[in-house]
Amino acid sequence: MKKIIVLLALVCPVLLWGQNYKAKRDDDSGKYGYVDESGKWVISPKFRYAMDFDGEYARVQKEDADNTHGLINKTGKEVVPCKYEFVLVSPSGFPYVSITNHY
């Protein structure tokens, strides 16, 4: 019984939170994208800058963005447009954005 509980404790977080994608800079293009745990590109390099995923979202800066940021989901879809000076995700999963120091 203890072995089953330990196994569930190890497997459930992976099932609940899914893949752990990491931001990575492509040496050839200089752009950022995302790789899975095996190092395979899962979101192609197309960002000027990217941060690791924090839960379901990651902060990115598009190539044409003028020092502004947005959020993408794990499919690479932009869920908060790259037009904000500052973007973060709260511990409860809600995005916060700033335009000229107004939150």
Q: Are 66 and 49 in contact (CB under 8 A)?
A: no
* Residue 7: inside a domain: no
Residue 5 clears pLDDT 70, i.e. is over it? no
* Residue 8: inside a domain: no
Per DSSP, which regions of 1-103 are E strands?
Answer: 22-25, 32-35, 41-50, 58-62, 69-72, 78-84, 86-89, 95-98
- Confidence tier at 28 by pLDDT (50, 70, 90): very high
* Residue 12: inside a domain: no
- What are the two backbone dihedrals, phi and then psi, of residue 93, each rounded to the nearest 5 degrees? 95, 5
Residue 84 structural domain:
20-98
pLDDT of residue 41: 97
* Residue 6: inside a domain: no
Rounded to two decimals, the pTM is 0.74
| CA–CA gap between residue 31 and residue 24 (Å, rounded) | 8
Domain count, the chain: 1
